[in-house]
Structure 1
Amino acid sequence: MAGKSSKKQAQRNAAILRQTYLLVLPVLGLSFLRRVLQKGSWLSYVPLHFPAAACLYMLEKSGRPQYDEKGQLVREGFDLKQPGLTEYMFDVIYLSIFADVGHIALGTLKLWYVLLLVPVYLAYRAKTIAGPLISNLLGSRSRGEPRNDAKDAAQATKSKRMAKREKNADRVQFKYR
C-alpha cells in the first residue's frame, strides 16, 4: 500500500503525456507536410511553434515519472491535473493545435493570432489578482482622498463582543469544586 498514490499519479501523468503527444504529433506532421507542399517560409513556421514546444518541454520535464533500472518509481513528477500554470501550458498547446488545424484546412497562418490571447488573458488575470491587493496596500491616499481621522477612530472601536470579552477577562473567576 505504501506509495500507492505516487504510483497512481505517475500512471496518470504518463497517460496525460501520452494523450498529449498522440494529439500533437499527427497535427504537427500534417502541418509540416502542408508547409512543404505549399513551399512557404520557414521563418514564420518555427517561431509560431516555439511557445507550444516550450510548454510541452516543461510539462515533459516536470511531469514525466522517473524509474530506476529495476523499474521502481523514483520520482512521480508534478501533478499535471493541478490548476494554475499547468492548465495555462495545456491551453497554449491546444491553441497552437487549433491554429495548426486551421493551417491544414484553410492554408492560412492567420489563425495563429489566437495565441495573442494568451498574454492578454494573463495580463487580465494579473490585474484581477493584484489590483485589489495593490489598492488595499496603498489605501485611500493613493486616490488623492484626504486622510480622515474620524473614519480611522470609528474603525478602531471594538465590537460589542470584543468589549464584553475584555470586560469578563478583568473579573476574577472562581473555580468551584
Structure 2
Amino acid sequence: MAGKASKKQAHNNAAVLKRLYTVSGAVLAFTVVRLLLSGGSWFKLIAFHAPAAACVYMLEKGGRPRFDAGGKVVREGMDLNQEGLTEWMFDIVYLSLFADVGHAVFNTSKLWYVMLLVPVYLGYKIKGVAAPMLGGMRNAQAPSAGAPADTSAKSKRQAKRDKNADKVRYRYK
C-alpha cells in the first residue's frame, strides 16, 4: 500500500506522455510528408513549432516518472493532469497540432494564426489572477483613517459589531 498514490501518478504521467507523443508524432509525420510533396518551407515548420517544442520539453522534463532497476518509483514527476500551467502547455501543443493538420489538409498556413490567440488568452488569465490582488490593494489604501466606514454594504449584524467594537466591555479596578 505504501506509495500507491505516487505509483498511480507515475503510471498516469507515463500514459499521458505516451498519448501526447503518439498524437503529435502521427500529425508531424503527416505534416512532413505533405511538406516533402509540396516543397514548402522548412524554416516556417521549425519556427512555428518552437513554442510547442518548448512546451513538450517542459512537460517531458517535469512529468516523466523515473523508475529504478526493480521497477519501483524513484520520482513520479509533476501531475500532468492538473489545471494551470501544465494545462496551458498542452493547449499550446494541441493548437500547434491543429494548425499542422490544417496546413497539411488545406495547404495553407493561415491556420497558424490561431496561435496568436495564445498571448491573448494568457493576458486574459493573468488579468483574472492579478485583478483581485491589485484591486484588493487599492481598496485597502482608499479609505482614510478619519473617514467613517461605509455601512450600507454591510449587514445589520456586521454594522452593529463594528459600532460596538470600540466600546470598552470590562473595567478593571
Please give the TM-score of this superposition, normalised by the length of structure 1: 0.82
C-alpha deviations, 1:129-167, integer Å up to 9, x for none? Answer: 22342233234989xxxx7776x32259x7423666776
* In the alignment, structure 1 residue 109 sits paired with structure 2 residue 102: no
Within-5 A mapping of 1:1-12: 1-12=1-12
Deviation (angstroms), 1:124: 1.3
| SS of equivalent to 1:153 | coil
Which residue identity lines up with residue 83 of structure 1 in the other structure? Answer: E
Deviation (angstroms), 1:48: 0.2
Query: In structure 2, how many angstroms separate the alpha carbons of the residues matched to 1:160 and 1:80?
Result: 49
Which residue identity lines up with residue 154 of structure 1 in the other structure? Answer: A
Query: In structure 1, how many angstroms separate the alpha carbons of the residues matched to 2:58 and 2:111?
Result: 24
Query: In structure 1, how many angstroms separate the alpha carbons of the residues matched to 2:61 and 2:169?
Result: 58
Query: In structure 2, how many angstroms separate the alpha carbons of the residues matched to 1:169 and 1:11?
Result: 61
Aligned residue in 1 for 2:148 = 153
Give the number of the structure whose residues are more often helix, by fraction. Answer: 1
Structure 2 gaps of 5+ residues are: 152-157
Which residue identity lines up with residue 59 of structure 2 in the other structure? Answer: L
Query: In structure 1, how many angstroms separate the alpha carbons of the residues matched to 2:134 and 2:166?
Result: 34
Query: In structure 2, how many angstroms separate the alpha carbons of the residues matched to 1:105 and 1:46?
Result: 19
Identity %: 49
Radius of gyration: which is bigger?
1
Q: How many pairs were matched up?
A: 166
Aligned residue in 2 for 1:15 = 15
Deviation (angstroms), 1:169: 5.3
